[in-house]
Chain A
Amino acid sequence: MFKPRDIEAYRRDEKLGHKMLTPEERIRLLKPYLPSPPLHPSEQASKRAMEEQQRLGVRRFLKTHWHLLVFTIIHALFSLYIRIRQAYHQVFNKVSSIYHHHHRAPDLIYNDVKDLRRLPNHLSVILTLDEDARGGTGLAKLIEEASDIAAWCASARIPQLSIYEKTGTLKGYLPRVHRSMTQKLAAYFGPNTPGIGIRAPHCPSMETAPTLAASRSENDGIKHLSVMILSAEDGRDSIVDLTKTLADMSQRGKISTSDITIELVDAELSESVMGEPDLLLLFGPRVELVGYPPWQVRLTEISHVQDNEGVNYQVFYRGLLKYAGAQMRWGR
């Protein structure tokens, strides 16, 4: 906290190109604000310093306890604040999820997004496996959530979806995920079900063709949805693997190190993992990337709903609104 007249002096000096004050004067200006420097080990050894420390000891003891007290009070207040905030957001989210429910109707979802200024071409989500859940319930829930999101994307005409799950559980059950998503899309769209393709890096794609009615009525605008399943190994590990390959090639003399450019790395990583998503949705209460591929999140908009817990349509809808720079509408 600087005194206004000192700030004034600093700014005047700056205006004049730092010619007004000499370095010594500048130090004098700064001195009252500097904390006491840490004691040098050799100084501490001397007797006088010992005496002084003892005298300071009492003061320091009191000071520490005073700070501890303030710390406890602040954190108690902050805890209270967070609990109130969480409760408020929970109620707000519940109310708005009743108000803005998708009713598993693609038309309603499309209605929500059709007037938006822009829609992401590539949407990405981070899902978490509930490891505490017993048996296969965690996995079943995860697949259910992934299928829901896929159906919302297909309804909103978002052609590309990538689903990140840290542990790679989802990757291990690709056929099951595929079956569940196909069923979900059929339940949403009925006779007009669009086609869907699911793949993971280094795995062949599993495709389902659109139903006859959907393939005939092309003008409807419902696009083929391609889903990519990612895990932590597609993040740092893919960069490590690329480095290994490049090092090996360099050892064999096939490339020189000056060939390694941003363009090369980008091309390789987009080819083997994926390109940059436009929007990343987080369904957790805080912004944490939990190992999401670092190369690809460069310019991705990150959206989360404060204090939200779990996958729901609200986060999806609000993420799209935020991406388009729009406000939430309370009347359809």
Chain B
Amino acid sequence: MSDLYLSRIRNWFLSSPPAEWAIRGLRETLIGALKQGPVPRHVAFVMDGNRRYARSHKIETIEGHHLGFEALARVLEICYKCGVEVVTVYAFSIENFNRPKYEVDGLMQLAKVKLEQLIQHGELLERYGASVRVLGERDLLSDDVLEVIDRAVSTTKNNKKCILNICFPYTSREEMTTAIRSTVEEYSKSSAPKRTPFSQTRITQKIMSKQGDRSGKMESDNTSLGQEQSHTPPGSDDNEDSMSSTTTLYPDSPGRTSKDGSNHVTIYPNVENITTETIDKHMYTADCPPLDIFVRTSGVERLSDFMLWQCHQDTQMFFLKCFWPEFDLRHFLPVLLEWQWRQKKKAMEEGPRQRVKAA
């Protein structure tokens, strides 16, 4: 009884104009102060604990998600004011499709409504240079949601100052597999003949007309094309190919035979040129700066298939005890301070080492 009374008094006090003014001033000062140090460029959040929060406060699950969205708005405000360039949030995992249907529908509806509102305020977003991207497996979404997503992404795509990545529906393994697949696709395209103004067929024809008919015309192609590798089509005397060509033959795979038909050699980029950066470029977060901070709420200390490729190097991870709807500056401030403190320590450790190297 007295508890309720106290909380009512507290609420009344906090909503009184002077208290409001003071709290607001304090927040502004803290954020302004944080900006004086190094600021992370890319922060990722796993918004975990909406359901548990709802359960512990005896409200509907979807209500918990709505409160989670308010927390996201708060966090984005803080990040924007601090000067964080990219914020990536884990909104919906592919695994989440296994949840009860009404909850999935509710979440889809939430995303749709919020993105629709976002589109209505396109001009406002442009003024702040904010853009929204949706990362994930699009095929799993229904058409009406997809349509809204596409509109939201395309209205904001020219804004470059800060980016919000919404991972929806996303898993990191799916992302990595997609990156591998598109890298393989890139390297299975024979692009070399289109780039040069010289026609290979003409050259071979010239050579042939000069030297008469030669059976080994592939060799001359090979030597003339420095780095590029060439592969003979199946049916020729390549041992490895002829072994398996009977079982795995894909007549429609790209670049098997060149378009002019007379030249049977297809030129592919060298696979040895594939590096970490190549795969990096095919990730959903290709043009984002490296991930600095990874925050997960609700005390679960797992990555749960989020940003595996991006965060396994020198990202600093923070597992916080609070539920996501409670998340606010008072939880985020220690994280940022600790990160800044470590950056400072790192710089101090690197300093002497570099001096030793130089000497």
Bind each other = yes
Contact A252 B176, beta carbon cutoff 8 Å = no
Chain B residues near A254 (CB-CB < 8 A)? 244, 248
Q: Indicate whether A240 sits within 8 Å of B274 (C-beta atoms), given known contacts A14-B66, A265-B176, A291-B312.
A: yes
Q: Tell me if A310 is interfacial: C-beta within 8 Å of chain B.
A: no
B residues 236-285 in Cβ contact with A at 8 Å:
240-241, 244-245, 248-250, 253, 256, 268, 271-272, 274-276, 278-279
Q: Tell me if B331 is interfacial: C-beta within 8 Å of chain A.
A: no
Q: Tell me if B195 is interfacial: C-beta within 8 Å of chain A.
A: no
Q: Which of B231, B309, B318, B340 has a CB less than 8 Å from the CB of A294? A: B309
Which of A69-77, A169-177, A222-230 faces chain B? A69-77
B residues 282-336 in Cβ contact with A at 8 Å:
301-305, 308-309, 311-319, 334
CB distance from A273 to the nearest CB of B (A): 13
Q: Which of A38, A75, A239 has a CB less than 8 Å from the CB of B161? A: A38
Contact A244 B272, beta carbon cutoff 8 Å = yes
Taking CB as reference atom, which chain A residue is nearest B190? A251
Contact A250 B253, beta carbon cutoff 8 Å = yes
Taking CB as reference atom, which chain A residue is nearest B178? A260
Which of B49-57, B123-131, B205-213, B216-224 faces chain A? B123-131
Contact A244 B274, beta carbon cutoff 8 Å = yes
Contact B231 A251, beta carbon cutoff 8 Å = yes
Q: Tell me if B151 is interfacial: C-beta within 8 Å of chain A.
A: no
Contact B180 A239, beta carbon cutoff 8 Å = yes
CB distance from B211 to the nearest CB of A (A): 29
Q: Tell me if B184 is interfacial: C-beta within 8 Å of chain A.
A: yes
Contact B312 A74, beta carbon cutoff 8 Å = no
Q: Indicate whether A74 sits within 8 Å of B308 (C-beta atoms), given known contacts A26-B117, A261-B177, A298-B172.
A: no
Contact B176 A239, beta carbon cutoff 8 Å = yes
Contact B173 A236, beta carbon cutoff 8 Å = no
**Number of A-B pairs, beta carbon distance below 8 Å:** 196
CB distance from A272 to the nearest CB of B (A): 14
A residues 1-16 in Cβ contact with B at 8 Å:
1, 3-5, 7, 14
A residues 34-63 in Cβ contact with B at 8 Å:
34-35, 37-38, 63
A residues 146-178 in Cβ contact with B at 8 Å:
none
Select the residue from B36, B173, B272 with max chain A CB neighbours within 10 A. B36
Chain A residues near B15 (CB-CB < 8 A)? 3-5
Q: Tell me if A299 is interfacial: C-beta within 8 Å of chain B.
A: yes
Contact A299 B304, beta carbon cutoff 8 Å = yes
Interface string of B52-77 (1 = CB under 8 A from A): 00000000000000100010000001
Q: Tell me if A246 is interfacial: C-beta within 8 Å of chain B.
A: yes
Q: Indicate whether A295 sits within 8 Å of B308 (C-beta atoms), given known contacts A23-B121, A250-B184, A287-B319.
A: yes
Chain A residues near B274 (CB-CB < 8 A)? 240, 243-244, 247
Size category of the B interface is 35 or more
Contact A67 B33, beta carbon cutoff 8 Å = yes
Interface string of A230-243 (1 = CB under 8 A from B): 00000111011011
Taking CB as reference atom, which chain A residue is nearest B334? A78
Q: Indicate whether A286 sits within 8 Å of B272 (C-beta atoms), given known contacts A82-B341, A262-B177.
A: no
CB distance from A234 to the nearest CB of B (A): 12
Q: Tell me if A289 is interfacial: C-beta within 8 Å of chain B.
A: yes
Q: Which of A38, A265, A266, A301 has a CB less than 8 Å from the CB of B302? A: A301
Q: Indicate whether A247 sits within 8 Å of B177 (C-beta atoms), given known contacts A3-B20, A294-B308.
A: no
A292 vs B314: C-alpha distance when bound (angstroms): 10
Interface string of A167-202 (1 = CB under 8 A from B): 000000000000000000000000000000000000
A289 vs B30: C-alpha distance when bound (angstroms): 30
Q: Which of A17, A291, A297, A300 has a CB less than 8 Å from the CB of B313? A: A291
Which of B21-29, B97-105, B138-146 faces chain A? B21-29
Q: Which of B11, B32, B253, B314 has a CB less than 8 Å from the CB of A290? A: B314
A299 vs B302: C-alpha distance when bound (angstroms): 6
Contact A18 B113, beta carbon cutoff 8 Å = yes
A247 vs B338: C-alpha distance when bound (angstroms): 43
Interface string of A63-104 (1 = CB under 8 A from B): 110111011001100110010000000000000000000000
Contact B181 A257, beta carbon cutoff 8 Å = yes
Q: Tell me if B192 is interfacial: C-beta within 8 Å of chain A.
A: no
Chain B residues near A64 (CB-CB < 8 A)? 36
Contact B341 A253, beta carbon cutoff 8 Å = no
CB distance from B193 to the nearest CB of A (A): 15
Taking CB as reference atom, which chain A residue is nearest B250? A256
Q: Tell me if B8 is interfacial: C-beta within 8 Å of chain A.
A: no
Chain A residues near B23 (CB-CB < 8 A)? 1
CB distance from B103 to the nearest CB of A (A): 17
Contact B173 A295, beta carbon cutoff 8 Å = yes
CB distance from A242 to the nearest CB of B (A): 7
Q: Tell me if A271 is interfacial: C-beta within 8 Å of chain B.
A: no
Taking CB as reference atom, which chain A residue is nearest B113? A18
Taking CB as reference atom, which chain B residue is nearest A260? B181
CB distance from B128 to the nearest CB of A (A): 6
Chain B residues near A3 (CB-CB < 8 A)? 15, 20
Contact B337 A78, beta carbon cutoff 8 Å = yes
Contact B184 A247, beta carbon cutoff 8 Å = yes
Contact A38 B276, beta carbon cutoff 8 Å = no
Contact B33 A298, beta carbon cutoff 8 Å = no
Q: Indicate whether A75 sits within 8 Å of B340 (C-beta atoms), given known contacts A251-B268, A257-B185, A298-B304.
A: yes
A-B contact pairs, 19 of them (CB 8 A): A7-B70, A34-B124, A75-B340, A237-B276, A240-B274, A243-B180, A244-B271, A247-B183, A253-B253, A257-B184, A257-B185, A287-B316, A288-B314, A294-B176, A298-B172, A298-B304, A301-B302, A302-B303, A302-B319
Give me 16 other A-B pairs in contact (C-beta within 8 A), A75-B340, A251-B268, A257-B185 excluded: A26-B120, A34-B124, A66-B29, A71-B33, A74-B33, A78-B338, A78-B341, A240-B274, A240-B278, A242-B180, A243-B274, A244-B272, A246-B184, A247-B188, A297-B312, A299-B302
Which of A's residues lie within 8 Å of B, judged by CB? 1, 3-5, 7, 14, 17-18, 23, 26-27, 33-35, 37-38, 63-64, 66-68, 70-71, 74-75, 78-79, 82, 235-237, 239-240, 242-244, 246-248, 250-257, 260-262, 265-266, 286-295, 297-303, 322
